Amino acid sequence: MGKTDIKIETALDAIADYAQQYCDDNSLPIGIETDDRYEDRIMLVITMDKKVSDMTKYNHMMDVAFTIETEEEDWTKLTTDELIGALQRRIHYLQRNLEDAAGAFGHSDSYEIKE
C-alpha cells in the first residue's frame, strides 16, 4: 500500500466516516506506529474485528435544499447549468460553515441493501 500525503482534517473525517459506516459504536481500534526510517512520520493502523463484507449495509436517500436567484419567473425554464451551479455554491457554503451543515440535510428514504 502506498503513502499519500493528506491534510489531518481530511484523514480524521475519513476515519470518522468509516467508523460511522462500519462500526456499531462509531469507534475504531486505532494504533499508532512509527517508522524508524522517518523521524517526522507516524502511521495510523486501523484494525477491524468484522469483515466489511459480512456487515449489513443500508442505502439512505438524503436531500439538501438550495436557492437560486434569477430574473426568470418560471423555475422550469432554469437551465441545468444554473441549477447545478446554485447547488455547488450551497455545498461550498456548507463545507465552509460546518455549524450550519447538520440542519441542512433531510432524510427521504432508507432501505437495507440485499446482497
pLDDT tens per residue across span 5-41: 556 666 666 666 666 666 665 555 555 555 565 555 5
pLDDT score for 101: 84
Q: Which residue has the higher pLDDT, 62 or 31?
A: 62
DSSP secondary structure letters along the chain: -------HHHHHHHHHHHHHHH-TTS---EEEEEETTEEEEEEEEE--SS-GGGS-EEEEEEEE------S-S-GGGS-HHHHHHHHHHHHHHHHH-HHHHGGGEEEEEEEEEP-
| pLDDT above 80 for 77 | yes
The model's confidence at residue 54, banded by pLDDT at 50, 70 and 90, is low
Domain-by-domain residue ranges, the chain?
A: 1-54, 56-115
